Structure 1
């Protein structure tokens, strides 16, 4: 098999290159305390999209720093209560997607929630208000400000806050909630499961937002990670602050959150992925201490992985 990364045997033991800030745990404990102090002001608005047997809502809640976050919510009309729920996270710059893919889970008796990440393709707000670059690039948003203002900090907290909201819905069994997503959605799946330890099952697929220095060293700061290159070109052209930059990015590096995960994890990975290199994904996977397994696709890149959607839905049926 052609190699774009480390041999598979080395991937299984790889533990990452990006530094972990010394105050990482205190940073996220402080962030969670901020999140818990927010009144979410939950609002459910019946959607214009409705189909027989289900109820579809636009869900809104207030996240950290006052941003109003949107999600699509589908619940089955006749499922016993309380019943399990699945939370979905979308790819970078995209949105929660159509209602159709939520109906498969709802038809099996799940409530389903799909979040729009703030400031991306959906309806969630980006309140802004940080120093530095805001032209594009959520990874680097807030990098020149206090670490508490990193935008992905807020997005990770949105994911965790949403999970807590879902667990408190009267129709949902709080002990039977799972999370899933691909690419950025995979990174948010891991972050959500880390920051909300009551999550029972997590199915990330080729997770983004892991091991930034490794991406840089592989010369793959393009596509989804292009903003890393643009940051250096515009803000540190001689790399005088390179160590500081990657240290700060460590606060929002999912691999460092992975040890907090208590959910059972099933992760999908394509070994030819040049968007989210396999080693960066394994940096997170290898730090998970909860029950876990891999679904490996040796000849596939950052693309559809045949049969994996079916495996994920079967995995969630175990909730």
Structure 2
């Protein structure tokens, strides 16, 4: 079998190499407390886009540090009883996508919430000194500041806060709250379920944002991880702070949050992925202690995985 990483049997045992900060658990408990102290001030604004079978809304809420976060909300029209909801997360620098993307779930009786990450390609607010799009560089945002100011800390909290809002909607069955996404969306799916353990099922696809040091050691700090290389080149060209930098990145490393997940997991990985190396993804998967399944695509990289969306829908329907 061709490979760009470890053999599959080694991947199944791999535990990651990026350091876990000593105060990791206290860090996230402090962060969750900050999130819970925020009045979300949820606002629903009907969208001009409507269909005969689904109602569409722009949903806004206030996240940590005062940012107004936007999500697209689609719910089945005239639903007569509490029903499931899927919280969707997009890839790096992207946005919540078109309304039409959510209609398949609505046709099955699911509501859908699709979040715009603060400062990326959608309508959410980044309060780190500017409003609007900061596009990328989010892994290293705050890396030379206090660890509580890491931007992905705030984005991870946004995912959990949105799931909590979903659970509180009167039309939603709180026992059927699910999460899904690919790449950055896969990472945020894991973060969401780790920080909001009431998420019952989650389907991350080749998750980003895990085991940063492994990516750097594989010389794959390019493409989505290019900013790691950029940071060292500009701010630590002799790597004199290397250990401290990777330790601080450990606060926003999904492998260290994975054991907090309580919901059932269906994860997808392509073994030829040079964007998010397979070993980094296995570092997170191998730490999940909840019920889990892994679907391996030997010949695929960071691309469309045939059948993955269909299998995810069946998983959320309870078919596998």
Normalised by the shorter chain, which TM-score bucket? over 0.9
1:163 matched to which residue of 2? Answer: 163
Change (3 A) 1:93 1:3: same
Q: Deviations over 1:253-301 (max 9, x none)?
A: 0000000000100000000000000000000000000000011100000
Q: Are the equivalent residues in 1 in contact too, given 2:86–2:178 (CA < 8 A)? A: yes
| Alignment: residue pair count | 316
Shift of 1:112: 0.4
Gaps of at least 5 residues in structure 1 are none
- Per-residue CA distance 1:77-131 (angstroms, 9 max, x = gap): 133321110000000000000111210001000010000000000000001149x
1:178 maps to 178
3-state secondary structure, aligned to 1:174: strand
1:191 counterpart = 2:191: yes
User: In the aligned structure 2, how far is the partner of 1:13 from the partner of 1:136?
Assistant: 32
Q: Structure 2 unaligned runs (5+)? A: none
2:51 aligned residue: 51
| CA–CA separation in structure 2 for the residues paired with 1:114 and 1:136 | 19
Q: In the alignment, what sits opposite 1:317?
A: 317
Q: State the alpha-carbon separation in 2 of the partners of residues 221 and 211 from structure 1.
A: 12
SS in 2 for 1:204: strand
Separation (CA, whole Å) in 2 of partners of 1:87 and 1:3: 33
CA deviations 1:174-219 (Å, max 9, x no partner) are: 1100000000000000000000000000000000000000000000
RMSD of the alignment, in Å?
1.2
| 2:246 aligned partner | 246
**Superposition pairs of residues 19-98 of structure 1, within 5 angstroms:** 19-98=19-98
- d(CA) in 2 for partners of 1:22 and 1:79? 47
CA distance in 1, matches of 2:231, 2:257: 24
- For 1:204 and 1:135, the matched residues in 2 are separated by 22
Q: Secondary structure at the match of 1:45?
A: strand
TM-score calculated relative to the size of structure 2 = 0.97
Query: Structure 2 CA distance, aligned partners of 1:136 and 1:86?
Result: 26
1:152 equivalenced with 2:177 (yes/no): no
CA distance in structure 2 between the partners assigned to 1:95 and 1:162 by the alignment? 15
- 4+ residue segments displaced more than 2 Å: none
Task: Give per-residue Cα distances to partners, 1:26-64, cap 9 Å, x unaligned.
Answer: 000000000000000000000011111110000000000
Q: Does 1:233 find its partner at 2:213? A: no
Are the counterparts in 1 of residues 119 and 135 from structure 2 also a CA contact under 8 Å? no
Q: Distance in 2 between matches of 1:79 and 1:10?
A: 48
Q: State the match for 1:274 in structure 2.
A: 274
Match for residue 128 of structure 1?
128
Where 2:96 maps in the other structure, the secondary structure is coil
After superposition, the C-alpha distances for 1:143-166 in whole angstroms (9 at most, x for unaligned) are 000000000000000000000000
Looking at structure 1, the residues matched to 135 and 161 of structure 2 have their Cα atoms a distance apart, in angstroms, of 27
